[in-house]
Amino acid sequence: MKPMIWHPEEKDGKVNEYLDRVNRAPYGVIFTLSMGLFCLFVLVFLIASF
């Protein structure tokens, strides 16, 4: 069995940079979808009120 002690490797820095660059929440998509759903809800509510 291997020892349970972790030692940094050469590629760890590149992996961390890649994860920092890729692992972002898509705030633009979330905002656009929530505004679209809100507008759709308001439209349906207004149409149903007549």
Q: What is the 3-state secondary structure (H, E, C) of 23-47?
A: CCCCHHHHHHHHHHHHHHHHHHHHH
3-state secondary structure at position 4: coil
Q: What is the Cα–Cα distance from 12 to 1, expressed in whole angstroms?
A: 23
Q: Write down the pLDDT at residue 33.
A: 98
pLDDT tens column, 6-43: 888 889 989 999 999 889 889 999 999 999 999 999 99
Structure confidence at residue 37 (pLDDT): 98
Q: Is the entire prediction scored with pTM above 0.85?
A: no
Distances from the Cα of 16 to the Cα of 7, 9, 12, 25, 48, angstroms:
15, 12, 6, 17, 52
- Whether pLDDT at 49 is above 80: yes
pLDDT of 3 higher than 90: no
User: Per-residue pLDDT for 2 more than 80?
Assistant: no
Fill in the DSSP letter of residue 26: -
